[in-house]
Amino acid sequence: MEHIRTPKVEQVRLLQRRAGQRKPLLGTLYLSATHTIFVENHPETRRETWVLHSMVSGLERPPGGPTGSQLVLRCKDFRVFHLLFPLERDCVEVHASLTRLSRPESYSELYCLSINPNTNQEEREKSWSLVLPSQDYQRMGLPTTCGSPRQPTMCDSYPAQLFVSRWASPAVLMGSSRFRSRGRFLFSAAVCRCSQPLSGFSGRSEEDEQMVTAVMKANPGSDFIYVVDTRPRLNAMANRAAGKGYESEDHYGNIKLHFSGIDNIHVMRSSQQRILDVGEQRTPSMSDFLLGLENSGWLKHIKAVLDAGVFIAKAIADEGVSVVVHCSDGWDRTAQACSVASVLLEPYYRTMKGLMVLIEKDWVSFGHKFSHRYGHLDGDPREVSPVLDQFLEVLWQLAQQFPCAFQFNERFLLDLRTLAYSCQDGTFLGNSEKERRSLRLQERSFSVWSRLWRDREKYWNPLYRAEQSQTQGLHLYITYRSSCIDLTVVTRASAIHIDPHVLISLGL
């Protein structure tokens, strides 16, 4: 409460245009440590509007007028509230209070860590045990025993345990880690993820080349491996000047390079903002809206993410070839492409529980920078970008084309997105598994998955048919630029056979 200058202001008018509201509501504004609350004065309705401080993305103070001073509150879920204060002093103090409250400087100020719900330890532990990546590895038939501990200096942003090819020795793992940006070496077999190599124009690493060969050898049905660089080719080439870049086919003799052309986080942030700007227009015509949508490039970016996932899925299902996927650091575009491919390949990930497991495994565990990308703390705004938003939109687009293939509905995706921003639970806090362990989140907060699972009845898709979810030979038609994709979706039983892997402990 120390940052709240004025906890209560009466005779405030609230207008929310995007909700179809035409006349402002008169009421009282309250500021608490966690929420901004507006209570309508009307005695019959007394409607309340609650906004978490962590959901505030921006505050503006347009020039005042004869009726009072205005404050515009923009939210991360795209709601926009216009508040009109009778006194400028109240507007100034509320603006100053919300500026500080919406920009926490430490994790302890966030909602899930600043409250102390009256629940016992057993409930908290049960919350975190609902979704575990290790359970998914067991479901896929991978080994459950750990090998020898590895050096903790390999990669801070990877989980403590993961799978690598049994042909990769500790020396190869360490050498490959040193040759990959942020130490994010290749892991897994059928679909492997990592970061860009630190090759520059002429650099190479014998261990990294052996690592790629080990991944290929784990799949006895193929004599080459795809390397999918999710970046535009020109961007990848430009990174060579900084001593990074992409794999040389001269050095990695058993690879085929493929560039997916997904733009970086800065382009995506700008694209989303252009869509919001179109929505801010008072009375846009249909032609204005469509032109703004086209100029934003948003659908082009969504298609690029989907195309990357389709390429990976077809490589595995149709060609039986393993795929190495990376972008620059391996935690944004890589997560998108691998997750889309997983959804296309495995019906389990098209269920509610399966999607929770997939996000926990491919995003949370493998170091997607949730706190940076979704602005949980007061930091560099250039690090904010709608990476998870785009993956969820790809799922929505697929569900529109195949309404019987997904167990969950649109509300599930919307609530999942909101929870990634709101900091109501500990799952999406921090930027890596190591950071979450240091924050002791499992001791101090709840998992977001228990919240969603508790409300699963409202997320159920009545059109879902499990047998149709396993359809093979689906034809996916994407309206943007009339692109027609022949997509094969395979079940676990028809997937390619992968030789056993070794579960290692990185000792992080």
DSSP designation for 131: S
> Hey, which residues are catalytic here?
327
First to last CA, the chain: 37
CA distance 362 to 180: 18
CA distance 429 to 450: 16
- The total number of residues shown for the chain amounts to 508
CA distance 17 to 160: 47
The dihedral over CA atoms of 386, 390, 391, 394, expressed in degrees to the nearest 10, equals: 170
Burial of 386 (0-12, 13-18, 19+ CB in 10 A): buried
Q: Cα 113 to the chain's mean position, in Å?
A: 21
DSSP 48-93: EEEEEGGGEEEEE-PPPBTTBEEEEEEETTS-EEEEEESSHHHHHH
Per DSSP, the three-state class of 351 is coil
| Beta carbons of 180 and 211 less than 8 angstroms apart | no
List Cβ<8 Å contacts ≥24 apart for 26-35: 29/83, 29/94, 31/4, 31/6, 31/7, 31/94, 31/97, 31/98, 31/101, 32/1, 32/4, 32/7, 33/1, 33/4, 33/101, 33/114, 34/111, 34/114, 34/115
Task: State the residue for tokens 């869509």.
Answer: 275
Please state, in angstroms and as integers, the Cα–Cα distance from residue 289 to each residue in 76, 179, 191, 222, following that order.
21, 46, 39, 48
CA distance 87 to 173: 64
